[in-house]
Amino acid sequence: MSSINPSLARVGSLALALVLACAMVPSPARADAIPDVWFAGTRLIFDHPQFRGADIAVATSDAGLARFLARVGATLAYQPGQRYVVITRADRRTVTLTIGDPRVTAGTVTTSAPFAPYTAGTDAFLPLVSVARALYVLPLMEAGTLVLQPQLGALDVRSDDRATVVTLHGAVPLAFRRTTANAATLALTFAGLASSLDQTRVVAAPALGEIDVLASGSSRNPTTVVTFETPPGTQRVLLASASPNDVTLAFAPAGVALRGAEIPAQATASSALASAPLQAQPVPARVLPPPPPMPAASAAEPVSSPPGESIGAPQPPAPATVSAVDLVPRGEDGTDVRVTVAGGADFEWHRLGDGRWYVDLRGATLGIPPRDDTPAVGGIDGLRVRQFALDPVPIVRVSLTLASQRRVDVVPSPAGLVVTVGAADDLAAARIGVGRIGDGAPGYAAAETAPAPDATPWKFGSEPALSPATNPRLIVLDPGHGGSDIGAEHNGLTEKNLTLDISQRLRSQLEARGWIVRMTRDTDTDVYAPNDSAHDELQARCDIANKAGARMFVSVHINSFTSSALSGTTTYYYKGVDLALAQTVHRRLIAALGTKDDGVRKDNFYVIHHTTMPAILIETAFLSNAGDASLLRSAEFLQRVATAIADGIGDYARAPQPSQASQAEN
Amino acid sequence: MKWLGALLALALVAVIGYLGFRAIAGSSGPHIGETIPVYYCKIDGETVLPWNVTLGAARDPHSVAFYAATQAVAGPPSGTEAIRFPPGTVVRSVDVAGSTATVDLSGAVAAAGGGSFAESGEFKALVWTLTALPMIQAVQIHVDGRTLPTLPGGHLELDQPLTRSSW
């Protein structure tokens, strides 16, 4: 175990408290008496630090504080006039301070600072030492200097019967050297970091016996070695970490499928972020005892119940009672689930990806026995009614297991709530909706309800109204981005080039089938002007289609995301009139491409909002995913994309339309 | 008469103290409990789920709206897979006028050049979170103090307030 650090930490902390306390007594503000502050090899200079109790007050606008937070990968949010100061760590956990309240909350642990944050002018003043502790940084006094020492602050171990996953959390972006790697031992050395975790921990999990943390070195130049003792034959891999301040390793016996990168001789967490896959399987948490100075968890810790099954209580509704839940067949129109409710209640419904659907009635109690039925009628395979929660707000949950992605309509009624499960599927159904019943409730707002008319004048002139195509044989193709706007760039591929390539292939296909095609751009160029505003550029694309009276507008894009794990094809629509085109084209794309089906989705993207004809935006695949990128490098794949879109347009044109009988392809 | 004067003085102190407490506690406006739901968008890009966040001592609507926005932008702790705002994105301010909250985000949100997929999930989480508060129904986005017509990567439209119905 550590030969230097524990005593240093204890003596240092005591000395710090004494020095700061003594300095505070005679004078409330002695900037000249503030010790030099060192952090990770550099001196931090603060603008107007002041002693306050056994801590140092620094302003939220202080450049020294900003430098410190930047080094640990944290950001600070404060707005004069309100009372919260929120620091977000690199691992997205938050540290909360409140003006006038000395408590500092990081996760489930709340500590008390020597003074409460206070305001002066437009600044809030924070307790620096207390903030540092919440960021896994240990304050130490050394020869009149305050050393803020980065720590390897927490260690999470998660295991199931097949594998064990260990995540190390640091104060700063983590870099390590693999100093030992034999059949029984793996040792990683973290230079520049100390640790209060310095002890041997018996894990006794699959493929991992012990974890030993050894801190050594001086207060300014600490080193921590983490050693993992594993049974012979154990697989050991590096997983992607969500934060550069984390390193995540997985251990499994031979024979267990374990996805991950080989643990390199030398690595940073950011390199692991780029190279290793995401953790494969969720495993139950088994967190080792939280180390000092601060915990691994945050105030924003998800509740222990599964996400989606716990909803906060911003406004407790009046008491209500659920007195009946009845299934009422509607013939070919589906089945009604009629929930009789006396009193007022807020409701929120969710559609899950596996066919489950539920509605929570907040502020309601169950006045009938719980039910767990398998009616298997009208597309409803399961019906469950239960008192989901009693405290702090009573919640009744009505859950359905649907035979498929059935259309579900939720309508408040005088007697309560009517949930209609349709006979047909709705592949583009909303996933969530909220509303209120009883008490003369104002009504119901679902995720896909049209926005209320807005009195705000349309910023760029009148909002375009749908208009019949004056040229029903014309399709406008919009290769996304172009010229000075390159779009996304990953894996050696550039979005603007691929969108143009696909669109040119698509134009040939459509022209061969009798359509007239106009491109918003036919070369690598901006449509409006180089380095123009997004509005000018996008409106220029819409104008081409709107002025030409095109029958359809198809915008071709390539997706990207910060995680390379995501892949697949998405087709977006916005206006109601876009939906049928989106569905038919998407069906063809999924059938032809073999990419993951990410669905038909509604979203407020500019070019599909501001075009006056059926318009869709296709995100062909993810540039940021290695598999999708490999496909996008293939001319044969790009040709298949073009053919699938053309086939989808053909399907759409041949289907009965409310207007504009198809002239091409018929 | 002496004791009556003392009693009146005590009553005056009590009233002033109570008013002061109300001002500090921010008890005016809609009732807000110990926790608020903060939403995140799952990595499927579509499912929006809540988790509970415990408030600190401040309960006034302005502080709570700001706090809710910071939590939505931070997202759930890193162990939870979620579509997240780009690193470095900070809530500069939240102002509530009527039922519309104007959230000013730092330029990092527009500098990342993400795709439509990420933009959609990010802003869905923020809008769901703020509109879960009793006083907010719509969210106007500013970036570095200005209205942006769209974001540069995925072109999500931001020149008008977003509501839950925007998706």
Q: Torsion angle, CA of B126/B127/B131/B132, rounded to 10 degrees?
A: -50
Q: Do B167 and A307 lie within an 8 Å CB cutoff? A: no
- Answer yes or no: is B83 within a domain: yes
pLDDT digits (tens, 9 = 90+) for A17-39: 544 544 444 344 444 578 889 99
pLDDT digits (tens, 9 = 90+) for A548-594: 889 999 999 999 887 788 899 999 998 888 999 999 999 999 999 99
pLDDT, position B23: 44
Same domain, A163 and A129: no
What pLDDT, in 10s, does the model give residues A353-371? 677 888 888 888 888 878 8
Question: Are A129 and A172 within one domain?
Answer: no
Tens-digit pLDDT profile for residues A280-294 = 333 333 333 333 333
B154/chain A closest Cα distance in angstroms: 8
| Residues present in chain A in total | 666
Q: Taking CB atoms and an 8 Å limit, are A307 and B43 in contact across chains?
A: no
Residues 55-114 of B with CB under 8 A from A: 56-58, 60, 62-63, 65-67, 70-71, 73-81, 83-84, 86-94, 112-114
A235 shares its domain with A273: yes
pLDDT band, very low/low/confident/very high, at B31 (cuts 50, 70, 90): low
- Asked if B155 contacts A534 with a C-beta cutoff of 8 angstroms, the reply is yes
Residue B14 lies in a domain: no
Q: Average per-residue pLDDT in chain B?
A: 82
Could you give the C-alpha distances from A208 to A202, A235, B22, B66, in angstroms and in order? Answer: 9, 10, 55, 44
Please answer yes or no on whether A447 and B165 come within 8 Å at the CB atom. yes
Residue A115 falls inside a structural domain: yes
Whose CA is closest to A554, among A575, A532, A533, A581?
A: A581
What percentage of chain A carries pLDDT values higher than 90? 34
Same domain, A326 and A410: yes
- Confidence bin at A1 (pLDDT 50/70/90): very low
For residue B14, give how far its alpha carbon lies from the nearest alpha carbon of chain A (Å): 21
DSSP state letters, A219-258: SSSEEEEEEEE--TT-EEEEEP-SSTTEEEEEEE-TTS--
Q: Are strands A550-559 and A615-622 parallel, antiparallel or unpaired?
A: parallel
Distance in angstroms (rounded) separating the CA atoms of residues A464 and A543:
10
User: Are A450 and B165 an interchain contact pair (Cβ–Cβ within 8 Å)?
Assistant: yes
Contact A179, A191 (CB under 8 A): no
CA dist A131 and A69 (Å) reads 10
Residue B11 has a pLDDT of: 65
* Residue A500 pLDDT: 96
A572 contacts in B (CB within 8 Å)?
116
Nearest of A178, A99, A160 to residue B25 by alpha carbon = A99
What is the edge-to-edge ordering of all strands in the sheet holding A285-287?
A261-262, A235-239, A246-252, A164-170, A152-159, A285-287
Strand order in the sheet with B100-105: B91-97, B100-105, B138-143, B146-147
Strand B100-105 with B91-97, pairing: antiparallel
| A534 closest CB neighbour out of B86, B114, B150 | B150
Of the candidates A149, A171, A189, which is a domain's last residue? A149
CATH of the domain at A548: 3.40.630.40
User: What SS3 state is found at A610?
Assistant: coil
pLDDT digits (tens, 9 = 90+) for A168-223: 889 998 889 988 888 889 999 999 999 887 677 777 777 888 899 998 888 889 99
Contact list in B for residue A452 (CB cut-off 8 A) is: 165
Say if strands A597-602 and A569-573 run parallel, antiparallel, or are unpaired: parallel
* Closest chain A residue to B46, measured at CA: A431
In a domain, A554, yes or no: yes
Residue closest to A76 by CA, chosen among A4, A134, A147, A156: A134
Selected for mutation to probe chain B from A76, A87, A89, A94 (highest B CB count within 10 Å) is A94
Q: Please, which pLDDT band fits residue A467 given cuts at 50, 70 and 90? A: low
B34: contact with A, CB 8 A cutoff:
yes
Distance from CA of A442 to the nearest CA of B (A): 13
A647 plus A512 within the same structural domain: yes
**Contact: A100, B35; criterion CB under 8 Å:** no
Of the residues A79, A85, A98, A520, the best mutation for testing chain B's interface (the one with the most B CB atoms within 10 Å of its CB) is: A79
- Inform me whether the pLDDT recorded for A333 exceeds 70: yes
Å from A45 to nearest chain B CA? Answer: 22
Express the helix, strand and coil content of chain A in percent, nearest 5 each.
20, 40, 40
Contact at CB, A93 and B167, closer than 8 angstroms: no
Tokens representing A111 are 């500590």
Query: What's the sign of the alpha-carbon dihedral A213, A216, A222, A227?
Result: negative
Considering the domain architecture, whether residues A404 and A512 belong to the same structural domain is answered as no
Do A82 and A214 fall into the same domain? Answer: no
Task: Identify the domain containing residue B162 by its residue range.
Answer: 31-166
Statement to judge: residues A212 and A137 lie in one domain: no
Residue keyed to tokens 């990419």: A595
For residue A457, is pLDDT > 60? Answer: no
Rounded to an integer, what distance in angstroms lies between the CA atom of residue A170 and that of residue A154? 7
Instruction: Please state, in angstroms and rounded to a whole number, the distance separating the CA atoms of residues B128 and B48.
Output: 8
Taking CA–CA distances from B84, the nearest residue in chain A reads A562
Contact B165 A562 (CB under 8 A): no
Of B33, B89, B114, the CB nearest to A560: B114
Alpha carbon A13 to chain centroid distance? Answer: 38
CA A493 from chain centre, in angstroms, equals 25
- Asked if B48 reaches chain A (Cβ–Cβ under 8 Å), the answer is yes
Report H helices in A306-441.
none
Q: Is B30 at the interface with chain A, CB within 8 A?
A: yes
The b/e string for A636-665 (b: 16+ C-beta within 10 A; e otherwise) is: ebbbbbbbbbbbbbbbbbeeeeeeeebebb
To the question of pTM greater than 0.90 for the whole model, the response is: no
Instruction: Identify whether B40 is part of a domain.
Output: yes
d(CA B31, CA A313): 10
Nearest to A614 by CA among A508, A511, A468: A468
Is B81 among the domain residues? yes
Q: Do A82 and B76 touch (CB under 8 A)?
A: no
Total domains in chain B come to 1
Whether A422 is in a domain gets the answer yes
Residue with tokens 């130049």: A221
**Contact of A556 with A572, CB cutoff 8 Å:** no
State the Cα–Cα distance between residues A65 and A47, nearest whole angstrom: 9
Higher pLDDT, B77 or A10: B77
Residues with Cβ within 8 Å of A533's Cβ and at least 6 positions away in sequence, in order, are B149
Domain assignment present for A659: no
In a domain, A205, yes or no: yes
Q: What is the pLDDT of residue A479?
A: 95
Quick one: CA dihedral B158, B159, B165, B167, positive or negative? negative
Say if residue A406 is in the same domain as residue A376.
yes
pLDDT tens track for A239-268: 887 788 888 899 988 888 888 888 888 876
Q: Please give the structure tokens belonging to residue A326.
A: 């009845």
pLDDT over threshold 70, residue A661? no
- Whether B15 maps to a domain, the answer reads no
User: Is A561 part of a structural domain of the chain?
Assistant: yes
Option in B58, B77, B165 nearest A91 (CB): B77
A544 confidence band (pLDDT: 50, 70, 90): very high
Contact B94 A79 (CB under 8 A): yes
How confident is the model over A414-452, as pLDDT tens digits? 788 888 888 877 766 666 666 677 654 333 333 222 222
Residues A158 and A105 in one domain: no
Packing angle, helices A635-654 and A579-593, rounded to 10: 140
Confidence at residue A200, expressed as pLDDT on a 0 to 100 scale: 77
As given in the structure block, the two tokens for residue A312 are: 């906060």
DSSP assignment of A146-205 equals EEEEEBEEEEEEEE-SS-EEEEEEESS--EEEEEEESSSEEEEEEET-B-S--SEEEEEE
CB nearest B50 (choices: A311, A562, A563): A311
Is the CB of residue A55 less than 8 Å from the CB of residue A13? Answer: no
Confidence bin at A614 (pLDDT 50/70/90): very high
The residue of chain B with its CA nearest to that of A83 is: B63
Does residue A459 surpass a pLDDT of 60?
no
Where does the pLDDT of residue A379 fall: very low under 50, low under 70, confident under 90, or very high at 90 and above?
confident
Domain ranges, residue A253:
151-287
A656 versus A466: the higher-pLDDT residue is: A656
Q: Which of A102, A128, A149 is the last residue of a domain?
A: A149
A328/A415 Cα distance (integer angstroms): 14
Q: Are strands A266-268 and A175-181 parallel, antiparallel or unpaired?
A: antiparallel
The answer to whether A310 contacts B56, with C-beta atoms less than 8 Å apart, is no
Give the pLDDT confidence score for residue A446 in this predicted structure: 31
Q: Does residue A490 sit within a domain?
A: yes
Length in residues, chain B: 167
What residues of A are annotated to the active site?
619
What residue in A sits closest to B53 (Cα-Cα)? A300
Q: Closest-CA residue in chain B for A284?
A: B79
Q: Are residues A140 and A222 in the same domain?
A: no
Q: How far does the CA of residue A262 sit from the closest CA of chain B (Å)?
A: 21
Place of tokens 């807020």: A346
The backbone torsions φ and ψ at residue A593, rounded to the nearest 5 degrees and listed phi first, read -90, -30
Question: Who's near A153: CB < 8 A, 6+ residues apart?
Answer: A136, A169, A170, A171, A195, A196, A197, A291, A293, A294, A296
Measured CA to CA, the distance from residue B51 to residue B45 in angstroms comes to: 17
Size of interface A-B (CB pairs under 8 A): 267
Strands A406-413 and A371-373: unpaired
Most confident residue range from A312-316, A424-428, B142-146? B142-146
A79/B93 Cβ within 8 A: yes
CATH number at residue A277: 2.60.40.3500
Asked if the interface predicted TM-score (ipTM) of this complex is over 0.90, the answer is no
Report the mean per-residue pLDDT for chain A: 78
Residue A303 pLDDT: 31
| Statement to judge: residues A564 and A481 lie in one domain | yes
Map residue B123 onto helix, strand or coil: helix
User: Would the pLDDT of A618 be above 50?
Assistant: yes
Asked which of A33-37, A404-408, A605-609 is least confident by mean pLDDT, the reply is: A404-408
pLDDT of B148 reads 81
**Domain final position from A446, A481, A508:** A446
How many distinct structural domains can be found in chain A?
4
Closest CA to B126 of B111, B140, B112: B140
What's the CA gap between A42 and A373, in Å, rounded?
66
Q: What is the per-residue pLDDT for A593?
A: 93
Report yes or no on A81 lying in a domain. yes
| Whole-number Cα distances in Å, A573 to A371, A541, A578 | 39, 16, 5
Q: Do A307 and B90 touch (CB under 8 A)?
A: no
Q: What is the pLDDT of residue B15?
A: 58
Residue A584 pLDDT: 93
Query: In this structure, is residue B62 part of a structural domain?
Result: yes
Q: How many CA atoms lie within 13 A of A150 on its CB side?
A: 25
* Sheet containing A109-112: order of strands: A75-78, A84-88, A94-98, A101-106, A109-112
**Residue A458 clears pLDDT 60, i.e. is over it:** no
